Amino acid sequence: MSSRAAIVILTSAAVALGCGGPRGTAAPTVSAPRAAIWNGLGGGSARDDLKAMLLKYTARCALPASQALESTDPATGKLIRFPGALGLAPEWLKGTCGPDCQEKVSACLGALSNRTGQHVKLSLLSAAPALDEGFRPSDSDVAFPHQEGAFFGNVFSGEVYACSGRDADKAPQVKRFCAVSPDSCNGLMALRSAGRCEDVCDMTCTQLSDGTRRCAAASCRDPGGRVWPYPITVYLRNKIEAGNADDVRNLLRHDEGLEGLDRGGVARFDLVDFGARGRSMSQVGIDIAARNRGRLEVWLDGTRRLAAFDVAPSNGIERQQTVPIHGDGIAGTHSVVVKVVSGKNIGRLSTVELR
């Protein structure tokens, strides 16, 4: 489907389901303006599926948690509710989404876009003066150290841009590609590259309690020189979602992780970034909710064993385990393979992390 068709669907959805009609609802629930959020806005193959996906993420971007968009499932006739989350443009619900509203929602949609459609936990930041203070960096961002990039523009006019952040090379290992390669993310909107964020954005940096800094864009400039005032900067975790493994054998995959950890199960993660030579990784960590004992091994490119975990039961409560690795001389991107070498129904593996 062309990006122009996607824009038309988004526009018509705005008119019929909130931005120009009565199909929005208010609910009693209220939450903080910003928290870590999952992305998963990828390309769709069917028009109805694409429309539903756009409504889901438009509601998540534009509306607070106390509001929602609604639509009728064309297959069943049942009402589908799309709850809000970030509250960037609550005026969407009243049919008054002008250029400022459109640009705020567009930046968010760009930030949530992911050509793989896989779910990845993100931190969305902005130093734009017009956006809520809840988008400023805080200690809740300590777990999100990698600056992927910033997104800005207006999807309604076909102008959506991505600039690459200082850690954009970390994005492919968590299956995010739209900042490092915007041209590859044109299923729902035609993302264009604006270059490096440090060259095209005015950044505001905040030091967190652990001494690290998070830098968010206050405004960004497109290749034609136009300044966009509502950019959203994405930061990524170092943790790789286990459910996003590139290849899985004899394991059950879902958004929460990998289940059915029986002997013989294998998961491969491609494009894992070991960094520049001389900055070797020293540890590997896993988040696992263990029900039974077992042993997991971590291999480099399937040929060199890096580490092993002797997993003890934790009553199904998720815990992090960390062991040292022998990573001397390893640099660049590699495949990391996790093998279940003993045990049965060990539990759920949620994340894998090299550090």
When mean pLDDT is compared across 67-76, 142-151, 154-163, 219-228, the lowest value belongs to 67-76
**pLDDT of res. 118:** 85
Each residue of 20-49: pLDDT tens digit? 333 455 432 223 345 565 555 554 444 677
Which whole number is the average pLDDT over 44-73?
83
pLDDT value at 91 more than 50: yes
In this structure, the strands spanning 201-207 and 213-221 are antiparallel
Tell me the average pLDDT across 66-71: 92
Cα end-to-end distance, the chain, whole Å: 39
81 in Cβ contact with 70 (< 8 Å): yes
Average pLDDT over residues 247-257: 94
> How does strand 240-241 pair with strand 347-354?
antiparallel
Residue 80 pLDDT exceeds 70: yes
Ordered DSSP codes for 180-222: T-GGG--SSS-EEEEEEHHHHEEEEEEE-TTS-EEEEEEEEE-
* Side-chain-facing half-sphere of 37: CA atoms under 13 Å: 27
The vertex-119 CA angle with 69 and 144, nearest 5°, equals: 105
Pair of tokens at residue 122: 């993100």
Burial class of residue 316 (count of CB atoms within 10 Å of its CB; 0-12, 13-18, 19+): exposed
pLDDT recorded at residue 31:
30
Task: Determine the pLDDT at residue 12.
Answer: 35
63 has a pLDDT exceeding 60: yes
Answer whether residue 157 shows pLDDT above 80: yes
pLDDT value at position 22?
33
Please report the pLDDT score of residue 21 as a whole number: 36
Do 88 and 62 form a contact (C-beta atoms < 8 A)? yes
Per-chain mean pLDDT for the chain: 87
Query: Tens digit of pLDDT for each residue in 96-138?
Result: 899 999 999 999 999 998 888 788 999 999 999 999 999 999 9
Q: Residue for token digits 């009693």?
A: 28
Model-wide pTM > 0.85 = yes
Give the confidence band of 309 by pLDDT, cuts at 50, 70, 90: very high
Tens-place pLDDT, residues 324-341: 997 778 899 999 999 999
What is the model's pLDDT at position 278?
56
134 and 33 Cβ atoms separated by less than 8 Å: yes
Q: Considering only CA atoms, which of 155, 101, 94, 164 is closest in space to residue 131?
A: 101
Helix ranges (H only) for the chain are 3-16, 47-62, 99-112, 197-200
Band of residue 50 on the pLDDT scale cut at 50, 70, 90: confident
Domains with residue ranges and CATH for the chain: 3-236 (no CATH), 240-354 (2.60.120.260)
Q: What is d(CA 200, CA 69) in angstroms, rounded to the nearest whole number?
A: 34
pLDDT band for 186, please (50, 70, 90 cuts): confident
- Per-residue model confidence (pLDDT) at position 86: 95
pLDDT at 9: 34
Q: Is the pLDDT of residue 54 over 90?
A: no
